[in-house]
């Protein structure tokens, strides 16, 4: 299992309030697959890339309005920190911890 693999309890601090979700990461070499699941639904990881302990991915959000989200996060032990860029809304900080 790579250092980035796991399920992560995350909070993204967006202009619409804090959004809680679980990010699932399954790496294979320099790429990864997974999803981000929240009470609003689940989004699949698109173009997941692993660069050391940093993951970079996109998600195609459909609701409350369509938007391609660009994401990046760095993993340090059981902590994850990064951001989610949502077009004109800018980048919202993402943080979380690895689920046991």
Q: 10 to each of 23, 37, 80, 94, 98, how far by Cα in Å?
A: 7, 10, 8, 7, 9
Q: Is residue 24 one of the residues assigned to a domain?
A: yes
22 is a domain residue = yes
Residue 89's domain comprises: 6-98
pLDDT tens-digit map of 79-99: 999 999 998 889 999 999 999
With respect to residue 38, please indicate whether it lies within any of the assigned structural domains. Answer: yes
Tell me, what CATH number does 29's domain have?
2.40.128.120
Q: Is residue 1 included in any domain, yes or no? A: no
CA separation for the pair 16, 90 (Å, rounded)? 12
Give a yes or no: residue 72 inside a domain: yes
Count of the separate structural domains present in the chain: 1
For residue 31, what are the contacts with CB-CB under 8 A and spacing of at least 6? 48, 49, 50
Q: Is the pTM of this model over 0.95?
A: no
**pLDDT tens per residue across span 7-56:** 999 999 998 899 999 999 999 999 999 999 998 899 999 999 999 999 99
């Amino acid at each position: 299992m790579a250092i980035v693999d796991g399920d992560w309890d995350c909070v993204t601090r967006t202009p619409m309030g804090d959004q809680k979700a679980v990010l699932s990461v399954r790496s294979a070499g320099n790429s990864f697959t997974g999803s981000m699941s929240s009470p609003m639904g689940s989004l699949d990881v698109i173009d997941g890339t692993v660069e050391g302990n940093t993951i970079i991915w996109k998600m195609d959000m459909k609701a409350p309005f369509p938007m391609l989200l660009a994401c990046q996060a760095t993993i340090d032990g059981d902590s994850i920190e990064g951001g989610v860029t949502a077009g004109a809304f800018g980048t919202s900080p993402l943080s979380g911890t690895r689920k046991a």
